[in-house]
Amino acid sequence: MNKPKVYFMDARSESPDTSLINKTITVFEAAGFDKMIKKGDVVAIKMHCGELGSSAYIRPAYVRAIADKIKEMGGRPFACDTTTQTYGTWGSRVTELDLIETAERNGFSSATLGCPFISADGYVGTSDYRVDIPEGYLLKEAYIAQAIAAADKVIVLTHFKGHGMGVIGGALKNLGIGCQSKRGKFNVHMGRHPSYGIGDSTVFHPENFKGKEKDADWELLENCCPLGLFKVTDDDELLWEREKCINCLGCGSWMNPRGIFEPNLANFDATDIAIADGALGVIKAVGKENIGFINVAVDVSPKCDCAGFSDVPLVPHLGVFASKDPVAVDQACVDAAKNAPGMPGSLAEEMGIDAPGERKFDLGGGAIEGLSEQTTINTGVVNGLGSRDHEIVNVQPLGRDRFAFPPDPRPTKIRFEKMFEKFQPFPFDKHNGRGYNRLDKVDIDAVKGHDGPTVNPHSHKDAAYHGDGGWHPGDDDSSFKPRSSSNGDDKKTD
């Protein structure tokens, strides 16, 4: 059997055609995604718009470039993300309204993307399409966001990074969590699962609750659950209706540090397995021939874009990867990160995993010890989603003439000659054709030293600008008045 191909370009850039955005388009074409799109196809671009506060999420310019390419092929693109479970106490993408507002704050709108940005699973997150997945390792059904299931083609455009629960945030997670509706996310996160659900498997230590007086944030223990399952009684007893817990993860950051919850590693492992099954559900809903994957492995932050912050990247930029196989494309990124040196000053260094050859995400991504960057990938092999084994194809740049400014790709003379004749922006008529009032020569070396200038600074009292020991405001301009002039008494002093 042929190994799946992963089309790759590294992160170095020294010309317009090797810009990372244009490399993304280059691998898009190399992987044949342009040929996949037919005239009239509605094409979903599944991306992660970033939780409020995160800064490493994919830049809108990448999405725009893909949207432009899809339109060039005759397709009708839309960009999308999905609503979240809640995950935390102050989630910023929990409803469609939250999601759109956060996306706009983070720079994603029809104005920036050249196509609409929508919530793929509706207002609350219940607009979905159920698929059976008998091949699933753990899940046997999945709920796919409606707009993704309804699209003719899907481009899964992923910012590759680490993830607290999923360990890696790659194409598989963009499918297995990102393309699931909110309802589907509860399924993948093991809500109400008899062995792996938080309600059934977490060891609960209510005795570690210190009481209202000693815990200034005690009200948050009640208010962090969307179902209101926690209650602090008048006797300072913390009650939890655990049998109703749906694994929204809203309470973990309050209960875990207090020792009230003893998290169960199996819940995390099971979720990582389920991510691959959820991903398979998307492929079944959309069709393998209708979907392509691009991983942009830059700003490889330890935690996901859903965390609300972005730490120093674990490794330097790795490059862009494209494939028809989501397992292969994620494995290629994991391998590249493993082989890369850790970024100085990053969590990789603090964790002691900065040497090339060290797995970067087991400790750098995962929230608790014992998780593996391979769990989801290996499950994707087992459930038939794809192959770890792959062939890297190094793609060559397409040439700078392919990447002209899309709204007006004509060269400079043709675009501007007439305009500049009419509206000459350079004042040729001033200063003997030199245009501007400038000194002929200055001591350049005097301001190049790292430890500061070697000439004395001038007073700013009256000078609008200075540079040669004297000052020359409006040398040949009788209308010039120094900035400090308020009563007309200011005089030239040189």
Partner 1 sequence: MGRAQDLLEKAMGNMNTLLENQEFNGRFKSGLEKLELQKDKFFFQSLAGLPSANKLFKATEKMIPECNESNMLEIEKIIQEIDDKADAPGTVLT
Q: Find the binder of partner 1 among 74, 259, 287, 409 (CB under 8 A).
A: 259
User: Which one among 104, 152, 350, 468 touches partner 1, defined by CB under 8 A?
Assistant: 350
Q: Which residue lies nearer to partner 1 by CB, 106 or 112?
A: 106
Asked if 257 interacts with partner 1 (CB under 8 A), we say yes
197 touches partner 1 (CB under 8 A): no
Asked if 238 is part of the footprint of partner 1 (rule: CB under 8 A), the reply reads no
Q: Does 87 bind partner 1 (CB under 8 A)?
A: yes
Identify the bridge partners of residue 141 per DSSP, sorted by sequence position. Answer: 132
Residues 6+ apart with CB under 8 A from 10: 318, 319
Rounded Cα–Cα distance for residues 487 and 494 (Å): 20
- Least distance in Å: CB of 317 to partner 1? 23
When asked if residue 256 is in the footprint of partner 1 (CB under 8 A), the reply is: yes
**Which of residues 169 and 319 has its CB atom nearest to partner 1 in the complex?**
169
Q: Which of 172, 298, 340, 347 binds partner 1 (CB under 8 A)?
A: 347
Q: How many C-beta atoms lie closer than 10 Å to residue 103's C-beta?
A: 27
Where in 448-487 is the site for partner 1 (CB under 8 A)? none
Question: Cβ 303 to partner 1, closest distance in Å?
Answer: 5
State how far the Cα of 179 lies from the Cα of 22, in Å rounded to an integer.
Answer: 26
> How far apart (Å, rounded) are the C-alpha atoms in residues 190 and 167?
16
| 359: number of Cβ within 10 Å | 16
164 binds partner 1 (CB under 8 A): yes
Q: Which residues pair with 230 in a beta bridge?
A: 240
Work out whether 95 is an interface residue with partner 1 (CB under 8 A).
no
Q: Is 278 in the site for partner 1 (CB under 8 A)?
A: no
C-beta of residue 158 within 8 angstroms of C-beta of residue 62: no
Question: Which of 63, 156, 246, 249 contacts partner 1 by CB under 8 A?
Answer: 249
Task: Write down the least CB distance from residue 349 to partner 1, Å.
Answer: 9
In the complex, what is the shortest distance from the CB of residue 370 to partner 1, in angstroms, rounded to a whole number?
A: 8
Contact call for residue 258 and partner 1 (CB under 8 A): yes
User: Which listed range, 232-240, 258-266, 409-417, 459-467, lies at the site for partner 1 (CB under 8 A)?
Assistant: 258-266
Residue of 210, 213, 190 lying closest to 254 (CA atoms) = 210
The whole-angstrom separation of Cα 239 and Cα 255 is 12
Q: Which amino acid is at 10?
A: D
Map tokens 């300072």 to a residue: 236
Q: Which is nearer to partner 1, 305 or 325 (CB)?
A: 305
Backbone angles phi, psi at 211, to 5 degrees: 100, 160
- Beta-sheet pairing, 161-163 with 319-323: unpaired
How many chain residues are in contact with partner 1, going by CB under 8 A?
32
Least Cβ distance, residue 60 to partner 1 (angstroms): 22
Tokens representing 88 are 């935390």
Q: In which element (H, E) is residue 421 found?
A: helix 412-422
Site track 366-385 with partner 1 (rule: CB under 8 A), x = hit: xxxx----------------
Check if the beta carbon of residue 49 is closer than 8 Å to that of residue 81: yes
Of the chain, the end-to-end C-alpha distance in Å amounts to 84
DSSP letter at 226 equals T
Residues comprising the chain, all counted: 494
Stretch touching partner 1 by CB under 8 A, among 84-92, 278-286, 289-297, 318-326 = 84-92
Q: Is 213 in the site for partner 1 (CB under 8 A)?
A: no
Report the residue from 115, 279, 363, 377 that binds partner 1 according to the rule CB under 8 A.
363
Give the binding range for partner 1 (CB under 8 A) out of 22-30, 37-45, 237-245, 248-256: 248-256
Q: Specify the 3-state DSSP secondary structure of 288.
A: helix
The site for partner 1 (CB under 8 A) is made up of 84, 87-88, 163-165, 217, 249, 252-254, 256-259, 261-263, 268, 303-304, 306-307, 347, 350-352, 363, 366-369
